[in-house]
A and B are shown apart, each in its own frame.
Chain A
Amino acid sequence: MAEALLAHMPALAVVVPLVAAPIAFLAGARWGRPVALVASALSVPVAFALAWLVSAEGEKLRYQIGGWEAPLGIGLVVDGLSATMLLVTAVVGFAVTVYSLGYFADKERYRFFWALWLFLLASMAALFLSADVFNLYVCLELVSVSAVALVGLSGQRDALVAAMRYMLAAILGSIFYLLGVALLYGAFGVLDLAHLAAVLGPDVTGQAAFALITVGLVLKTALFPAHFWLPPAHANAPSPVSAVLSALVVKGSFYILLRLWTDVGDPSYVPGMGTLLGVLGAMAIVWGSVQALLQERLKMLVAYSTVAQIGYLFLLFPLVEIAGSHVVDAWSAGVFHAVSHALAKSAMFLAAGAVLSRFGHDRIDGLGGLSRRAPVTTMAFGLSGITMMGLPPSGGFVVKWLYITAAIESGAWWWAIVVLAGGLLAAGYVARVVVPGFAKARDDASDLDVDAGRLPRRMEFAALALALAALALGVLGQPVLDLMAVGSPASGVIPWTGQ
């Protein structure tokens, strides 16, 4: 029984939220909440079990839904990377669910949240488990549609417009992606990632397909200069949604990029592509941070922080291309950044949301004395800021460490400078929020309503827990590093160099 259950774990990861979603929809405003809580809570052990399975197996696990083989059946593949992303999704998802129970106190107005939220979780899980590029397209669309719906959930004008922008950008990205898929199929006649990796060869059509897919995914990942939709969408969405969008959704499209450029092909497949993506990443780091320094609203600041942090993900590509024996470091850095940023950024948005929902505004210049009024939230924000800055002990530090190692090893020290400069800029925008928190309390001048009620504890502590988890990654991250390496370039099998 237990073994049978274990064997179906990959399916369960998708099925649990997928089944719960319509139930939550039907259960209505009142009972949707416990359904979502149970489903997202269940996802955590499922994700852990998968991670354990993958670790124990030491290589990729394949799972055919209904026993149908490729190319006709839908296959699920779990390797270290997928398991890691699933784990992060489950953990962040659960924390956000707990937080949302407090956040959406107005049950009636947000009654659709739970179903959409579970759909989003399900499609994220499916995305991370998909074995072929077309299924990835479908999942990508599912993720986008549920995410857009969640952005517009409040029905307020700004949120709706932001959702529309997001929607248009997302569809545009999907179309680019689909065109790429078409060309890919035309060139090689296969869609399964593993098959594709086997047959991939120098071919203009294939290279063009990679280029188009990259454009689509860059758009969905909001890499500079394609970040135009992200700040309004992430800032105007309800805060739990913002957290998930920044933490997980953008990672979904990055995940596909990663698969294509490091698992199926490698950055040298299209010469200059790695460097180009890296340069855009560097620009994102600088530009996003500078804009974060300029924002007047806390959630906009955090959103621009996401724009900047996304840049770090893309430093992976040039470094993977040139890092020689330290290619593992570069790859692990990118993936580990996806993980630690997911935890820290969700904590940051949840903290920002807590401020917004308690004090009714999130104007940064009105946050004087915040550390006194909301110490736990301030601490959650500050601690996640440490990861953003890449200071030890935090996941961000491990990322920085690995990137710098790879950069120095490959003699491309300028990437190290970018990484370090980004950390300093991050310190700048984090300080903008944290510093006024320490300012002397002047009741006449503070914009923080003294009479504002206490936040539900679970909101504050959900944020704090995520921030602490991001910190813990910096010390106890080895299991995660081990896990993500299973069946991936980091496991020592480096396909693109033929080793």
Chain B
Amino acid sequence: MSQTDIYTLAGAALFVIGLYGLITRPHLIHKILALNIMSGGVFLVFVGIARRVMSPDPDPLPHAMVLTGIVVTVSSTAYALALAKRIYSETGMAALDAPDVIEEPEASSG
């Protein structure tokens, strides 16, 4: 098993673990963290890929992309956290409750 494969498999594992958390954990902070774990997984895959190029020096482009990705993830995480905080202050809980559209449906006219 090459180094690349280890990175890739670890990345995939993180991705799946994150997805699992995202699905099952109701708390918003957990969900945001789960997403971060998934992102981490993706970055690992990227880093692994950088090594796959048949040259002694790793390909710099994936690293550049990972950096960009990290920036994007950090900012969106920050925004998500702010949103979660705001939701907590508005509703007193940090979870996605059932959206109000799911009230008891009844036959409507038309």
- Identify the A interface with B (CB < 8 A): 71, 134, 137-138, 141, 144-145, 148-149, 152, 155-158, 160-165, 167-168, 171-172, 174-175, 178-179, 181-183, 185-186, 189, 191, 231-232, 235, 293-297, 300, 364-365, 428-429, 431-432, 435-436
- Identify the B interface with A (CB < 8 A): 15, 19, 22, 28, 31-32, 35, 38-39, 41-42, 45-46, 48-49, 52-53, 59, 61-62, 65, 68-69, 72, 75-76, 79-80, 83-84, 86-87, 90-91, 96-97, 99-101, 105, 108-110
Within the complex, the shortest CB–CB distance from A153 to chain B, in Å, comes to 12
Please give me the 9 A-B residue pairs with the lowest Cβ-Cβ distance, nearest first: A432-B110, A186-B49, A232-B99, A182-B46, A179-B42, A182-B45, A175-B38, A157-B90, A141-B72
Within the complex, the shortest CB–CB distance from A307 to chain B, in Å, comes to 12
Residues on A with beta carbons closer than 8 Å to the beta carbon of B87? 157, 160-161, 164
Within the complex, the shortest CB–CB distance from A446 to chain B, in Å, comes to 15
* Distance, CA A108 to CA B101, complexed state (A): 29
- The answer to whether A172 touches B22 (Cβ under 8 A) is yes
- The answer to whether B110 touches A168 (Cβ under 8 A) is no
- The answer to whether B69 touches A178 (Cβ under 8 A) is yes
| Given known contacts A145-B76, A365-B108, A235 and B86 CB-to-CB distance under 8 angstroms | no
Residues on A with beta carbons closer than 8 Å to the beta carbon of B41? 179
8 A-B pairs in the complex with CB atoms less than 8 angstroms apart: A161-B91, A165-B96, A167-B80, A171-B80, A172-B35, A175-B15, A182-B45, A300-B101
Residues on B with beta carbons closer than 8 Å to the beta carbon of A235? 101
* Distance, CA A141 to CA B53, complexed state (A): 28
Residues on A with beta carbons closer than 8 Å to the beta carbon of B80? 164, 167-168, 171
Within the complex, the shortest CB–CB distance from A319 to chain B, in Å, comes to 32
Give the contacting residue for B100; candidates A138, A158, A172; CB below 8 A: A158
Give the contacting residue for B83; candidates A160, A174, A178, A296; CB below 8 A: A160
| Given known contacts A138-B72, A164-B87, A300-B101, A179 and B45 CB-to-CB distance under 8 angstroms | yes
Within the complex, the shortest CB–CB distance from A204 to chain B, in Å, comes to 13
| Given known contacts A185-B49, A293-B110, A71 and B83 CB-to-CB distance under 8 angstroms | no
Give the contacting residue for B101; candidates A191, A232, A435; CB below 8 A: A232
